[in-house]
Structure 1
Amino acid sequence: MRSLHFFHELRQRPIARRALLLYLGYKFSIMRQFTRAEVLKHCNNKDCWIIIGNKVFDVTKFLDEHPGGCEVLLEKAGDDRTEAFEDVGHSTDAREMSKDYCIGEIVDEEKQTYTYDKKPIAPTTTTSTTSGGFNAESLVYPGLVIVIAFFVYYLLFA
Structure 2
Amino acid sequence: MGKVYTLSEVSEHNTNKDCWLIINGKVYDVTKFLEDHPGGDDVLISSTGKDATDDFEDVGHSTTARAMMDEYYVGDIDTSTFPKKVKYTPPKQPYYNQDKTTDFVIRILQFLVPLVILGLAVGVRIYTKSETA
Per the normalisation by structure 2, the TM-score is: 0.58
Q: Which amino acid aligns with 2:33?
A: F
Could you say what secondary structure the match of 2:36 adopts?
Answer: coil
- Structure 2 distance, partners of 1:94, 1:38, is 25
User: Runs of 5+ in structure 1 lacking a partner?
Assistant: 1-29, 113-158
Contact 1:31/1:105 (8 A) holds in 2: yes
Q: Does residue 79 of structure 2 align to residue 94 of structure 1?
A: no
Q: Distance in 1 between matches of 2:7 and 2:46?
A: 17
Residue equivalent to 1:49 = 20
Structure 2 Cα separation of the partners of residues 43 and 79 of structure 1: 10
Aligned-pair RMSD on alpha carbons?
1.6
Flag the structure with more relative contact order, 1 or 2, with Cα contacts below 8 A and sequence separation at least 6.
2
Q: Does 1:106 align with 2:77?
A: yes
Moved over 4 A (4+): none
Counterpart CA distance in 1 for 2:80 and 2:40 is 33
Cα distance in structure 1, aligned partners of 2:6 and 2:40:
27
Corresponding residue SS for 1:63: helix
2:62 maps to 1:62: no
Q: CA deviation at 1:108?
A: 5.0
| 8 Å CA contact 2:47, 2:55 repeated in 1 | no
3-state secondary structure, aligned to 1:49: strand
Report how many residues are paired. 83
Q: Does 1:39 align with 2:16?
A: no
Question: In structure 2, what is the Cα distance between the partners aligned to 1:54 and 1:88?
Answer: 18
1:76 corresponds to which letter in structure 2? S
Q: Is the 8 A contact 1:48 1:78 kept in 2?
A: no
Contact 1:51 1:80 in 2 (8 A): yes
TM-score, normalized by length of structure 1?
0.49
Aligned-partner residue type, residue 94 of structure 1: A
Q: State the percentage of identical aligned residues.
A: 51
Larger Rg: 1 or 2? Answer: 2
Displacement, 1:107?
1.8
